[in-house]
Structure 1
């Protein structure tokens, strides 16, 4: 061996001696010395022979004969020992690899060092505590997709441990290039660095490619003699190639004794017998779902990057990223540089370059070519089935590839109990974008294949969505109509997926089915004119397809002309006929008789459908009932409308029909409020608003009926300010301007609030701006409100005149006319209306079927009207009896408004009645000394609503609670009294922050305060707390 190579070899050996324990060093030193001596002797002999060979005239000895069968060699010099030929080198013998690096080498040091925390690290105590508990056992596995925070958790846990009091931690970061020898060399060095493993006991691997079993025995024996627990962290264990390392780790884990705590980190489960460890209770697991950020942790992450988020921003980020740590961090970094962080967060998708680069590099690029191709093709899907993947790729082994991806935590997770898998939304977006870039033009064909696969499997919304994504709008619309998806579009939560899909459909797609679907889209966003236009287009298309038959609207039985493929007899498809009839019932605002005929026809068509299909579409019957209820209400039949709305609510049992349930609850509450069932109206109205809050129903799809119902309750109970707040929120919703009933009620309530606040001209102007409604019930409600406004202005003549167009048999009209004539001093002219009002009151009290338009307010006003007439006739006993009856009727619902609107004549009789029987404190809003039951009414409605001079004198402390606090409101107030923030109250009671704020606003209104501290003090004064 040349001298230079020998010296290099000796230097390697000396460096290795520095790494070894003393015993190992001594043995290796003796071996290396003997090898060096032999090498020097051999080198000297070779040099001497070379020198002799160079001498001129030197010939080969005569007695040297060549080996049999082999010619003599003449091209090399003679040996100094001809009797012992030189041993030839073995062909293909590998050169011994260099030993591992020294421990102070930068690469080795980095692999043995705990990773440093990134700036803005979130302290996640729940995970730290869980890892502390997990490391009480022998094996902890931390697995998850790229960037979920596996290494960050282990590193922060290691850094958080108190020095000297916790078990030492040996850390090794692994790579794909770590052969068995290199792996165990790093493990040995990491163990030695802890200072608790005896250095002279273990030794090191002899080479990098393999490890002698005796080394594993020595490692296990050393760990068995540990003085206390020791944690060994193997980060990236799934990267180490081959089975030799895994089998060695298994051997050490089995024989190391009870003090070794092994923590294995990787993207996939280690090839260890986890099932056995799990069954024996020796395994702790922390998975990707456990590592997902919660809302509170995501908010802390954003604040760590200088972004102060609100709850909506955090919710949007959690929805987009599903708690993926790297996605949240990349978004936080971008938000910190954005001019509008909130807007950026809500629009954050995988199109952000940083997110796409990370996913493409860390997840897609590391996959084999076949797996990459499969991922790109199934990226068009929200959920993947092996058979569907085969259809998209043309392969037969998609199930195996999907199973491997799940095991590798490659942002694909199985859906429990099925063969389906789900891609992470950001990863799916990245795959779709990459597919368009790498293979443009392929995506529509993939969508068409997927649509055909879904259609062959059975009715599904996915087939419709993929046909639409492929640009085949005609097939998508026809399939949607046949599957009765219009019901889902009108009843589903928020903006249903089908409505979003067809909102992209071009306007010029021919055929009746696209027109019907477009009509449903218009109706879902409260665009009634657009819906009617599309319905006309659909009927023209179906008429053209049916041939030369007379055109026209449906017959009196409500049978519509529908879009559908005619059978040989010329009849239309039942599903398409049903769809058209349902849209007409909901959008064309038919009168009650036509609506009843349409509803009957829809029921007949439903009976013709297969029972299984009908059971899968409960929203169809609920929509039928809802459309009929709206028509009955427009016609002035609120009692029947209430029954149909109640059936609608019961027919919407789950989240799939949350939009319809929200709308029906709001209308039901409004009808109940108008009829006088204020307690039920408040309950149902609050439930309607809660649904919209929890499910994020947008204003374009939500209903203002719930707010109008609560405003009615507030007006009838004497809280004009609360009513105004609900009216403001109702006016921001579309249907309170497009629906005639809701528009009329909005104007009636706004006029009542203006009157309560003393603004009489504004009250009249609001009603004048309402315009004609074209429906009996809204028109009557507006006319009666105009009469009340005119009477408040001291104009009885106008109050009578505006009622000319109202149906004569309406009890509210008789009461309003009687009040106007009595106010004008025309007792004789009021007599007929008194009789009518008395008959309405008697019928409402005794009949089993309450008259359709008799409300609680009408009954109380009729009783007060009789009391006033008796008082004018000098019959104080009769007046007192009627007044007592009015109070008894109004008390259960705390109906105050008829008394506040009655005028000053009521002060004396009410005071005398209170002196006799008492119990009327619920009427007053002032409770100080000298304010009797009727005191608040002597100055008119303004004082009663807390805006007149008496109310100003009494102040907030003198006002009574309008209504008892609900149990949930009391719970919220109790938490507030404990000095908890709104967010803390929400977490304690498992509510959303917005729901807590809603309850607090209601508490403030009921306690007549405007601040938390005042609410708590007032509640304690009233012994609520």
Structure 2
């Protein structure tokens, strides 16, 4: 056999439109300390072009294409055996001889550095990697970022930022999909706005590619089974078997998920989700060529979900099967369950008007016609039919407990919401995991308003884990939990992490839920504002107001941005036009900001003075109010008082690490008055609380049990109990409620 000893790096084989991704080149360069680097990802993710571009920049690299260079032996050049790198592409198609050579090279104590690329790693090779000192660049790292998607699409035509964001959301960073989408949109004579509504339909052009390339290693029967299971959002082994009759569903799912080739695991209970664009290709093909079979699959899926108490999915699949009478019957019978579980948002193209509309009971189209109105409407109906359903009384009980929580949150009264949440959480937990997840995400939103960022993030994360573990993909509550996580990062000025959360939201939910989409863009505007790009943030908020029903948070941010740009008249006009949408706390903040812009400091102070004295509202709003009061004091020349007000705001924000309000409103015209005036916050008990006791005290101001507090702080239950006893002793109280109330008085919280 001919040895492949001196194959030159094929740099000239690169596409003229190849996108150099510095971060991946840096990762390859930085992995020099590892004997073996794996570059594993699905077809079309850009592995080969990445490695060819990297090879072209390296002085001593040999490139092998194991799929096309024949069964030649793999041996490094003798002259540079220990100092060179060998790039082995298409390892999933390596022959037995080539695998033997690779394993032999890894077994040598001294040898070349291997960069192994492919769609998956052959099991024989995977088994020997732990001892070889390997590291891996997987499909998630290979996927394009949002910025890289924009740079790649720019090579195929000029697209608006909104369109680029849509392309990224649909393709999920899959390079080949981004190219197909960019080419399709750039060449659309009707305009990108028209094309965007059909972006998912580009999957229809990929069916042959998916079947003939991505799934080429599977048998015909296996490919048939995969196509049939594309009728559901997520699939477990049991659901796979119900749809296909395959008793080996677990084995096939494991093979599809190997190295992230086609499916990805969702949660920890065996659920999987196919790549969105590839699933769309299979689904649209079935819809066009096998509509009767697809309707039958939907009926089977609906029956399976109904038997497992998953009523939202059962309604969805009954509608998709064209059985609208059955869908209506299920909706009536299980209406309380549907409201308790929350809406279901599906991510499937809708090419026909008979396609099921997402169940949106509980959505928030406006502040006054939101979930509370929907709940009240159901409760006002005769419940005779609903009582025939299993657990109908329990579901009704959960819905009744949810209404006051949602009403309090919409009104900006988080402490009131927290009080009602106790009953809702308890009832929802007894009804099932999905109702419990819905209550938890409202708990996360409550703690966010109260400024308890750590607990808000914990509740949001718990919500997402519960939904993922039960195979719920595209859930309304999952999206709002992600928004809470992004908001926590924004308040802490962790903008990169916040942007990552929003990117994940865009990919997971796409654009199927208008309120969620608006919330995503709102938080992107907050990031832009925090990064100093006020003009970009203003463009985002202006577009949101023009294209949809504005939320109170959006209007508050929009007025802030207008004032920051000196557009006082426009800010006042928007505040007057949309005043009905504002909660009382946000209305006061907006009014005070406008008054300060007009140098009417005394009126601004009067607007906020009573508000900051109440501790039952949003902590974030209270911090904003104190900073505006500081601005008012500085505007009237009371500089020491302004500094004192800012310090008061900082004391409230410090425990949770809240930084955003201070970055947007830096101190102006204040002085350092020397030692701070001793106020209520300084009147701590004779025995000062330790830092760990303060950590425990903050979590006592939540709904967490002692065991949950211990888990959150990585302590034992007995240690937390000891800290609680110490807190009670130092504060001279006997109950948790009294400790929290006194802590607020002393401004320890």
TM-score over 0.5 (shorter chain): yes
**Residue number in structure 1 paired with 2:18:** 121
Paired with 1:463 and 1:352, the residues of 2 have a C-alpha distance of 25
Paired with 1:618 and 1:390, the residues of 2 have a C-alpha distance of 27
Paired with 2:104 and 2:151, the residues of 1 have a C-alpha distance of 43
Paired with 1:851 and 1:327, the residues of 2 have a C-alpha distance of 50
Does 2:337 correspond to 1:483? yes
**8 Å Cα contact 2:627-2:646 kept in structure 1:** no
**Residue number in structure 1 paired with 2:386:** 564
**Residue number in structure 2 paired with 1:320:** 170
**Residue number in structure 2 paired with 1:174:** 67
What secondary structure, in the 3-state scheme, does the structure 2 residue paired with 1:485 have?
Answer: helix
Q: 1:159 to 1:411 in 2, by over 3 A?
A: same
Match of 2:89 among 232, 235, 242: 235
Does 2:289 correspond to 1:438? yes
**Residue number in structure 2 paired with 1:246:** 99
**8 Å Cα contact 2:171-2:276 kept in structure 1:** yes
What secondary structure, in the 3-state scheme, does the structure 1 residue paired with 2:38 have?
Answer: strand
Q: Using the TM superposition, give the Cα deviation of residue 445 of structure 1 relative to its aligned residue in structure 2, in angstroms.
A: 3.0
Paired with 1:391 and 1:468, the residues of 2 have a C-alpha distance of 19
What secondary structure, in the 3-state scheme, does the structure 2 residue paired with 1:131 have?
Answer: helix
What secondary structure, in the 3-state scheme, does the structure 1 residue paired with 2:281 have?
Answer: helix
The Cα offsets for residues 114-160 of structure 1, whole Å up to 9 and x where unpaired, read as 67111221112222233345566554433221111111112111222
Greater C-alpha radius of gyration: 1
What secondary structure, in the 3-state scheme, does the structure 2 residue paired with 1:119 have?
Answer: coil
Correspondences of 1:473-512 after superposition (within 5 Å): 473-474=327-328, 476-478=330-332, 481-483=335-337, 485-486=339-340, 488-489=342-343, 497=345
Paired with 2:118 and 2:329, the residues of 1 have a C-alpha distance of 46
**8 Å Cα contact 1:464-1:480 kept in structure 2:** no
**8 Å Cα contact 1:487-1:623 kept in structure 2:** no
Q: Using the TM superposition, give the Cα deviation of residue 965 of structure 1 relative to its aligned residue in structure 2, in angstroms.
A: 12
**8 Å Cα contact 1:141-1:285 kept in structure 2:** yes
Paired with 1:582 and 1:332, the residues of 2 have a C-alpha distance of 44
What secondary structure, in the 3-state scheme, does the structure 2 residue paired with 1:483 have?
Answer: helix
**Residue number in structure 1 paired with 2:622:** none
Paired with 1:891 and 1:293, the residues of 2 have a C-alpha distance of 40
What secondary structure, in the 3-state scheme, does the structure 2 residue paired with 1:264 have?
Answer: strand
Q: 1:443 to 1:722 in 2, by over 3 A?
A: same
Paired with 2:24 and 2:182, the residues of 1 have a C-alpha distance of 21
**8 Å Cα contact 2:340-2:398 kept in structure 1:** no
What secondary structure, in the 3-state scheme, does the structure 2 residue paired with 1:171 have?
Answer: strand
**Residue number in structure 1 paired with 2:28:** 131
**Residue number in structure 1 paired with 2:120:** 268
Match of 2:131 among 275, 279, 285: 279
**8 Å Cα contact 1:406-1:414 kept in structure 2:** yes
**8 Å Cα contact 1:468-1:476 kept in structure 2:** no
**Residue number in structure 2 paired with 1:145:** 42
Q: 1:585 to 1:150 in 2, by over 3 A?
A: closer
**8 Å Cα contact 1:142-1:150 kept in structure 2:** yes
Q: Using the TM superposition, give the Cα deviation of residue 277 of structure 1 relative to its aligned residue in structure 2, in angstroms.
A: 3.2
Paired with 1:851 and 1:114, the residues of 2 have a C-alpha distance of 65
**Residue number in structure 2 paired with 1:617:** 436
Q: So what's the TM-score if we normalise by structure 2?
A: 0.57
Correspondences of 1:903-922 after superposition (within 5 Å): 922=635
The Cα offsets for residues 380-419 of structure 1, whole Å up to 9 and x where unpaired, read as 2222211211111011011122222233754212346442
Q: 1:366 to 1:645 in 2, by over 3 A?
A: closer
Q: Using the TM superposition, give the Cα deviation of residue 709 of structure 1 relative to its aligned residue in structure 2, in angstroms.
A: 9.7
Q: 1:478 to 1:294 in 2, by over 3 A?
A: same
Q: 1:441 to 1:133 in 2, by over 3 A?
A: same
**Residue number in structure 1 paired with 2:140:** 289
Paired with 1:850 and 1:170, the residues of 2 have a C-alpha distance of 66
**Residue number in structure 2 paired with 1:629:** none
**Residue number in structure 2 paired with 1:386:** 237
What secondary structure, in the 3-state scheme, does the structure 2 residue paired with 1:169 have?
Answer: strand
Paired with 1:416 and 1:660, the residues of 2 have a C-alpha distance of 15
The Cα offsets for residues 887-920 of structure 1, whole Å up to 9 and x where unpaired, read as xxx9993485xxxxxxxxxxxxxxxxxxxxxxx8
Paired with 2:116 and 2:427, the residues of 1 have a C-alpha distance of 61
Paired with 1:751 and 1:223, the residues of 2 have a C-alpha distance of 74
What secondary structure, in the 3-state scheme, does the structure 2 residue paired with 1:441 have?
Answer: helix
What secondary structure, in the 3-state scheme, does the structure 2 residue paired with 1:405 have?
Answer: helix
**8 Å Cα contact 1:662-1:689 kept in structure 2:** no
Match of 2:54 among 157, 161, 174: 157
Match of 2:395 among 572, 575, 578: 575
Match of 2:180 among 302, 321, 330: 330
Q: Using the TM superposition, give the Cα deviation of residue 293 of structure 1 relative to its aligned residue in structure 2, in angstroms.
A: 1.4
Q: Using the TM superposition, give the Cα deviation of residue 431 of structure 1 relative to its aligned residue in structure 2, in angstroms.
A: 1.6
**8 Å Cα contact 2:263-2:275 kept in structure 1:** yes
**8 Å Cα contact 2:394-2:427 kept in structure 1:** yes
Paired with 2:80 and 2:8, the residues of 1 have a C-alpha distance of 23
Paired with 1:428 and 1:652, the residues of 2 have a C-alpha distance of 34
Q: 1:144 to 1:572 in 2, by over 3 A?
A: closer
Q: Using the TM superposition, give the Cα deviation of residue 963 of structure 1 relative to its aligned residue in structure 2, in angstroms.
A: 9.7
**8 Å Cα contact 2:341-2:435 kept in structure 1:** no
Structure 2 residue runs of 5 or longer lacking an equivalent are 464-476, 488-518, 529-539, 618-625, 651-657, 671-749
CA-based RMSD of the aligned residues comes to 6.5
**8 Å Cα contact 1:724-1:753 kept in structure 2:** no
Q: 1:234 to 1:583 in 2, by over 3 A?
A: closer
Match of 1:374 among 225, 228, 234: 225
**Residue number in structure 1 paired with 2:71:** 183
Paired with 1:362 and 1:436, the residues of 2 have a C-alpha distance of 21
Q: 1:574 to 1:236 in 2, by over 3 A?
A: closer
**8 Å Cα contact 1:168-1:229 kept in structure 2:** no
What secondary structure, in the 3-state scheme, does the structure 2 residue paired with 1:617 have?
Answer: helix
**Residue number in structure 2 paired with 1:429:** 280
Paired with 1:415 and 1:613, the residues of 2 have a C-alpha distance of 19
Paired with 1:704 and 1:729, the residues of 2 have a C-alpha distance of 12
Does 2:242 correspond to 1:395? no
What secondary structure, in the 3-state scheme, does the structure 1 residue paired with 2:285 have?
Answer: helix
The Cα offsets for residues 633-670 of structure 1, whole Å up to 9 and x where unpaired, read as xxxxxxxxx9998699999764467869999xx9xxxx
Does 2:523 correspond to 1:703? no
Paired with 2:62 and 2:440, the residues of 1 have a C-alpha distance of 65
Paired with 2:370 and 2:107, the residues of 1 have a C-alpha distance of 76
Q: Using the TM superposition, give the Cα deviation of residue 453 of structure 1 relative to its aligned residue in structure 2, in angstroms.
A: 2.9
**8 Å Cα contact 2:336-2:392 kept in structure 1:** no
The Cα offsets for residues 229-252 of structure 1, whole Å up to 9 and x where unpaired, read as 4444443343355x3443355446
**8 Å Cα contact 2:143-2:173 kept in structure 1:** yes
What secondary structure, in the 3-state scheme, does the structure 1 residue paired with 2:291 have?
Answer: coil
Q: 1:746 to 1:690 in 2, by over 3 A?
A: same
Q: Using the TM superposition, give the Cα deviation of residue 253 of structure 1 relative to its aligned residue in structure 2, in angstroms.
A: 5.8
**8 Å Cα contact 2:35-2:132 kept in structure 1:** no
**Residue number in structure 1 paired with 2:636:** 923
The Cα offsets for residues 753-775 of structure 1, whole Å up to 9 and x where unpaired, read as 99989xxxxxxxxxxxxxxxxxx
Paired with 2:615 and 2:26, the residues of 1 have a C-alpha distance of 64
The Cα offsets for residues 247-290 of structure 1, whole Å up to 9 and x where unpaired, read as 355446656x7344444332221354433332242x34332222
Q: So what's the TM-score if we normalise by structure 1?
A: 0.44
